[in-house]
Structures are given as structure tokens and as C-alpha cells.
Homo-oligomer: A and B are copies of this chain.
Amino acid sequence: MSTPVDDELWSAIGDPTRRTLIDLLLASGPSTATSLSAGLPLTRQAVSKHLAVLDRVGLVHAEPAGRERRYHVDEAQLARAAAQLASVGATWDARLRRIKRIAEAIERSRNNTEGE
């Protein structure tokens, strides 16, 4: 009955900071935790933890390059996440429409009864 949603994925993208990180990675391409933290009111370690969360659900991947760890977005996974967002929104919309339809039906039957 409830929308079929991957809760781990949701809580990953539910965090505003992590959405910002995804945005930054999409805008700037593969980046390190250090360079990402430079433009944010966060320490490198905080960014690193968020990237670890995103990595764990597969939204980003780390590529070791020398002494750096360069993170990049997994496009397929992000597309999947976007699809889930759309799906939840669509489910709610459908429910709202159904409720509205039922409410209108009740309204109609009430008017009929009044008319008798």
C-alpha cells in the first residue's frame, strides 16, 4: 500500500547537505572531499562522512588517484533516485485525485438525497 521506496536511498538524498554535494559534483565533475568542503560551511571530515553515505547507497563512487580520492556521481543510480522521487510524487498526486473524485461523488449523492 505504501509507496515502494528504497528507504536508504531516500534518507541519503533526503539530507540537504548531501543534495548540495550531488549538485556540486554534477556541476564541477569529479572532486575530492577537500575541494568540496572548501565551498561549504563544513569540515573535510563531515563532507567525507556524507560522501561515504552516498557511496554506500551507490549514488557516488570514489576513484583513488595518487594521494587523492576523487568522487564522481553514478549516473544510473542518480537517474534511479530521480525516478523514485517522481514515483512518490505521482503516487501522492493519484491519491489526491482519487480523494477529490470521491468527495465529488459524495457531494453529488448528497444533493440527490436533498432533492427527494
| Residues of chain A having any CB pair with chain B under 8 Å | 1-3, 5, 7, 10-11, 13-16, 19-20, 22-23, 26-27, 75, 78-79, 81-83, 85-86, 88-90, 92-93, 95-96, 99-100
Contacts and interface: CB of A to CB of B under 8 A. Distances in A.
Nearest to A100: B75
Given A82-B93, A85-B88, A27 B1 contact: yes
A57 B52 CA distance: 30
Contacts of A13: 14
3 tightest Cβ-Cβ pairs between the two chains A and B: A14-B14, A82-B89, A85-B89
A19 B1 contact: no
Given A11-B16, A75-B99, A26 B92 contact: yes
A65 to B, nearest CB: 19
Given A14-B14, A26-B99, A27-B1, A19 B78 contact: no
Contacts of A26: 92, 95-96, 99
B20 A2 contact: yes
